[in-house]
Structure 1
Amino acid sequence: MELSTAKYDLKHYANVYEPREDSFLLLDALELQISFLKTFKPLLTLEVGSGSGVVVTSLASVIKDSAYFAVDINNEACMATKNTARLNGCNIEVLNSNLIDGFKSCLFDLVLFNPPYVITDSDEYDRDIINKAWAGGLMGREIIDKFIERLPKILSKRGLCYLLLLKENNVHEIGTKLSGLNFMSQIILERKIIGENLLVMKIFREG
């Protein structure tokens, strides 16, 4: 495996989840794409909701010519991402912000997002800071839909996005929503784990 999981240490970050099956699925999807991504040569890369920082740091350790950014609404997750980057000798700019609110338009060639996708009550997301990592509200889509609506503003003209989803998020409807924003999408990896059917969607502009 060329794209190995980054070293991390979360003992000082009680409100940050350790990498789990969804994190590893996103890493495996990027591994499948690594030859393409090296040729693609993204200039600016962003992970939204970086959590432990394992995903963005693993990619930064392999594709070294991109400038890397990470954003998380949880300040502890931001500190954990910085620490993971430091442990692995990577330079990642980390911003404590909601989704992509802190960025201007049409910046990033590559965007990664493992969103809160679990189907919950709408108010579950705001009950605790750690809930923001997994509670997706109605259909698990409340944060995902907000992200998709903002995606045209932060992807460069050649930009790509890798988005992790739960099958029950209604993947077909998400594809239709993306099509309405002049994006194309394809599923590049799918995996069943206990209680969940997860997949990674690759999103890119038409043409």
Structure 2
Amino acid sequence: MTLEDRRDEEPDVYQPAEDSHLLAEAACDRLEGTEVVLEVGTGSGYVAEQIADETGARVVASDLNPHAVRQARTEGVEAVRADLVSPFRDGSFDAVAFNPPYLPTDPENEWDDWMEHALSGGEDGRAVIDPFLAHVGRVLAPDGVVYLLVSSLTGVDEVVEEAGEHGFSAVAVADEPFPFETLTVLELLR
């Protein structure tokens, strides 16, 4: 199924777009295929499916949105409903991929539905990224890696600084400019 076909799927689920493709491509380029991978915030399951299909890695996906979990499962993705990494055991994953809600959103303009949860990163765009960075280290294996997509609208330097406060070093492994933002995939290592 193409990116365009998937966009017509479930209206309450974030469907793959350029950011999804960039994250999937960066993770696939860097994974060996022997890893156990967690994709947080899977939405349609596109990134998890691409990683599994292209690398052979075992991929588990999670999303807070029950509609997303259902759609990902219909695509053959092993998906569970979860808030970030909360239900997973310590040291369970060799890699974690996350395309978080990163759009800075004025609280006055937020709406309360599943798409808002998939898109809105709060006032600074980091309302979900910061808690993720605080907790993701717990589920990583000792030599684990995180692939985190961020936007220039969110402040890449601020995300790198926050990652550093949680013991991660960060390097940009992919980026793509668009008219109003640049998307960057950060590789985070401890």
TM-score of the two chains, using structure 2 as the length reference: 0.90
Sequence identity (%): 31
Moved over 4 A (4+): 4-12, 122-126
**Distance in 2 separating the partners of 1:155 and 1:101:** 12
The Cα of 1:63 is off from its aligned counterpart by: 2.2
CA distance in 1, matches of 2:41, 2:15: 13
RMSD: 2.3
Question: What is the aligned partner in structure 2 of residue 117 from structure 1?
Answer: 102
Give the C-alpha shift of residue 5 in structure 1.
6.6
Alignment deviations for residues 120-170 of structure 1 (CA, whole Å, 9 cap, x no partner):
034766611121111000210000001000011111111011000011322
Q: Identify the residue that residue 101 of structure 1 maps to in structure 2.
A: 86
Which residue in the other structure is 1:47 paired with? 39
Change (3 A) 1:142 1:58: same
Maintained 8 Å contact 1:10/1:16:
no
1:85-130 CA distance string (max 9 Å, x none): 2xxxxxx421112111111222110100000000003476661112
Partner in structure 1 of residue 32 of structure 2: 38
- Secondary structure in structure 2 of the residue aligned to 1:115: coil
CA distance in 2, matches of 1:52, 1:166: 20
Q: Is the 8 A contact 1:74 1:129 kept in 2?
A: yes
Q: Compared with structure 1, are the counterparts of its residues 143 and 68 closer, same or farther at alpha carbon in structure 2 (3 Å cutoff)?
A: same
Q: Which runs of 5+ in 1 are unaligned?
A: 86-91
For residue 163 of structure 1, the aligned residue among 148, 156, 166 is: 148
2:184 to 184, 196, 199: 199
5+ unaligned residues in a row in structure 2: which ranges? none
Check whether the contact 2:28–2:55 (CA below 8 A) recurs between aligned residues: no
Choose the corresponding residue for 2:58, options 49, 53, 67: 67
